[in-house]
Amino acid sequence: MASETKGNWWIWKVFWILLFITAFEVALGMIKPPFLVDTIFLGTKLLNHIFIILTIIKAAYIILEFMHLGHEKKSLKWTVLLPAMVLVPYLLFIILSEGVHSYLMI
Amino acid sequence: MDEALIKDHKPAWKGGDLPYKASYGKLMMWFFLITDTLTFSAFLASYGFSRFKYQDSWPVPEDVFTHFPFLHGDHPLLFVALMTFILIMSSVTMVLAVNYGHKMQKNKVILWLVLTIIGGSMFLGSQAWEWGHFIHGDKGAVVTNGSSSYKIKDSLFVNSNLAHVFKDGHMYSIDNLSEGNHHDSAHSDDIDFDNFISAFASEKDLNLRLSDKTILDHDVAVEYLKERGLRTIKGADLYENEYGHTLFGDYFFFITGFHGFHVFSGVVLLIILLVNVIKDTYARRGHYEMVEKIGLYWHFVDLVWVFVFTFFYLV
C-alpha cells in the first residue's frame, strides 16, 4: 500500500484543506458579498452555487483520501461512485423542479 | 487491507477471484454506505422540495441558528462551524487510527481511537445543545391568522402564519414585550396577548417582519397585530415553530436527528472496536481490518454532515 510507506503527512494535508474550505464557507456565509447574493443563476443565488461546489470538493477529499477510495481498484471505485453520481442528480432534478412547479401552483 | 486478503484468501470458486481486490467485510460496508447515501440524498432532496415549494415562509438559516454557548448576542454560523470542525477533527484521528492499524501498532491505535470517541461524543453533546436551543426557542414570534393548511391523506396540517418583531433591522426578542408573564407553555392566552400588543405599541422603534420578509412600519404593524394577531409563540415542536414553516422544524428534527443517530451508532461501534483492540482480538487475527471498516462508516458520517451543514445552515 502506498499510504503505508507515505507516513501521516497526507492526512494532515487533507485536514488543512477541509478546514480551510469550511472556514472559507463560514466567512462567505457571514459576509454575504452583495453581488453573489443578488446574482440569481439556475433558480438560486450565485453564493449557493459556490457553497455547493465547495461542499462537493470537501466530499471528494473525504471519499477519495480519508475513505481511501481513490487508491482502491478502479472497478470498486466506480461500483461505489456511479450509483450516487447517476441517481442523486436525477433525483434532485425531478424533485427540485417539482418543488418549483408546485410553488408556482399554490 | 492486504494483510486481511492474504489471510482469508480462498480458491476462485469460493470467492477467491477478488475482482475488487477488497475483502468481503469491506465490500459489504461499502455497499451499505451506498444505500445510506441514497437514503440521505432522498431526505435532503425532499427538504429541497419543501423549501422551494414554501419558499415564501421558509426561514433564513442565520436568523435561526445564532447562539453560541456562554456568549451573548448573535453569532450566526459560529456554533455549527465549531461542530463541523469537531467532526472533521474526529475524522482525522480516525484515519490515523486506521493508518497505525495497518502497521499493527496497538498502542497508537488505542490512542487515536480514544480521541475519535471523544470527538464523536463532543459532537453529540453539541447537537444536544443545539436541539435544546431550537426546542426552547430564541426570539419568539407572533402567530397571525391567514395560516395556510395542507392535507396529507386524511390528516390536516396547519402551517402557522408568523410575524417576527424587528428593531433597527435585527430580530427582537418577544420576551422584552411580555415581562412579568412568563409561561412554561409555548402558548400564552388572550390577556397576555393584549398586553403584548400594548407593549409593542409603546415602543416606537419596533417593526414587524412578515413571513414573506416584508417589513411593516411601526404604526402599520400595530394595526396589523390588532387585526390579525392571535398569540405569541416560542420554541419549536413537530406541529409548530417560531422560525417559519412547520416543515422546516420537522425536517430539522428528522434529518439532523437521523444523522445524530448515525453518529451515536458510530460511537457505540468505536467503543466496541476499542475494547477488542485492547483485548488483542485483532492482533490474534493477524490484521486490524475492523478498524478500517468502522473507519469507513465514521468517515461516511462526517461526509453526511458536510452536506447537512451546507443545506441546513449555509444555503
> pLDDT category, A13, cuts 50, 70, 90?
very high
B303 touches chain A (CB under 8 A): yes
Residue with cell 481490518: B289
Helices marked H in A62-73 — which ranges? Answer: none
Helix (H) or strand (E) holding B167: strand B155-167
d(CA B300, CA A17): 18
Q: What is the mean pLDDT of residues A70-89?
A: 93
Looking at chain B from residue 235 to 274, which residues have their Cβ under 8 Å from any Cβ of chain A? Answer: none
3-state secondary structure of B141: strand
3-state secondary structure of B71: coil
**Nearest in space to B236 (alpha carbons), one of B253, B222, B219, B221:** B253
Helix (H) or strand (E) holding B209: strand B206-210
User: What chain A residue is nearest to B74 in terms of C-alpha separation?
Assistant: A30
Domain coordinates in residue numbering, chain B: 2-136+248-314, 141-234
DSSP symbol at B57 = T
pLDDT above 70: residue A48: yes
DSSP symbol at B19 = T
d(CA B236, CA B255): 15
Looking at chain B from residue 29 to 68, which residues have their Cβ under 8 Å from any Cβ of chain A? Answer: 30, 33-34, 37-38, 41-42, 45-46, 48-55, 62
Say what the pLDDT of residue B4 is: 67
B115 touches chain A (CB under 8 A): no
Q: What is the CATH number of domain B2-136+248-314?
A: 1.20.120.80
Say what the pLDDT of residue A5 is: 53
3-state secondary structure of B188: coil
A106 with B53: Cβ contact below 8 A: yes
Digits of tens for pLDDT over chain B (315 positions)?
566 666 666 666 666 677 788 888 999 999 999 999 999 999 999 999 999 998 888 888 878 888 888 877 778 788 999 999 999 999 999 999 999 999 999 999 999 999 999 999 999 999 999 999 999 988 889 888 866 666 666 766 667 688 899 988 888 888 888 765 555 555 446 667 888 888 898 888 898 988 878 888 898 889 888 888 888 888 998 888 899 888 999 999 999 999 999 999 999 999 999 999 999 999 999 999 999 999 999 999 999 999 999 998 888
Residues of chain A neighbouring B297 (CB-CB closer than 8 A): none
Please answer whether residues B265 and B271 qualify as being in contact, where contact means their C-beta atoms are separated by less than 8 angstroms. no
User: Smallest Cβ distance to A62: which of B103, B292, B306?
Assistant: B306
The pair phi, psi for residue B235, each rounded to 5°, is 85, -165
DSSP string, B223-287: HHHHHHEEEEE-SB-SS-BSSS-HHHHHHIIIIIHHHHHHHHHHHHHHHHHHHHHHTTHHHHHT-
Tell me whether 0.85 is exceeded by the ipTM.
yes
Say what the pLDDT of residue A3 is: 47
User: Smallest Cβ distance to B55: which of A14, A75, A103?
Assistant: A103
Residues of chain A neighbouring B30 (CB-CB closer than 8 A): 76, 79-80
The pair phi, psi for residue B207, each rounded to 5°, is -120, 175
Rounded to two decimals, what is the model's pTM?
0.88
DSSP symbol at B297 = H
**Nearest in space to B290 (alpha carbons), one of B109, B124, B116:** B109
C-alpha cell at B289: 481490518
Computed from CA positions of residues A33, A18, A63, B122, in that sequence, does the dihedral angle turn out positive or negative?
Answer: negative
d(CA A8, CA B95): 9
Residues of chain B neighbouring A43 (CB-CB closer than 8 A): 52
User: What chain A residue is nearest to B60 in terms of C-alpha separation?
Assistant: A29
Domain coordinates in residue numbering, chain A: 1-71, 73-106
